[in-house]
Structure 1
Amino acid sequence: MTNENSNPSWPDLATSLWKALTEHDAEISYEFEEMVVEVPSGVGPSADHATWKLNGLLRVRGRKLD
């Protein structure tokens, strides 16, 4: 995991969000619909990008479970 003085990676950010939600007994659900994501390899204008094409509506929901 990263520390506060570094730039977190996309996997670090996703993991942190998932962990924060699940530690608070939240439900997380995902749906995708014809989605294209340009994922940067780093920070800044010269960063390369990978194109991800996902078939489905992106809907991320978090809710506290009773």
Structure 2
Amino acid sequence: MSTDDSTTTEEMSEPTSWPELGIALYERLTGRNATIEYTFDDMKVAVPSKVGEDAEHAHWEIDGTVSITTHED
């Protein structure tokens, strides 16, 4: 991989988790008028209230499409 002086260490590192991958993809597409579209079919997610085994969970159900559109101001 070749880099120039404007490339930061953070831009050069590979994502190691799903959140990092999402952030990297969003940053790459920002300013390119891109739309990221996710389609879910009866997806169920348990969202923890905090970190730890004693966390309570909110139960979300997603059935449909989520679109994220990027643009540069």
Q: Could you state the TM-score of these two structures normalised by the residue count of structure 1? A: 0.47
Larger radius of gyration: 2
Task: Decide which structure has greater strand share.
Answer: 2
Q: Could you state the TM-score of these two structures normalised by the residue count of structure 2? A: 0.43
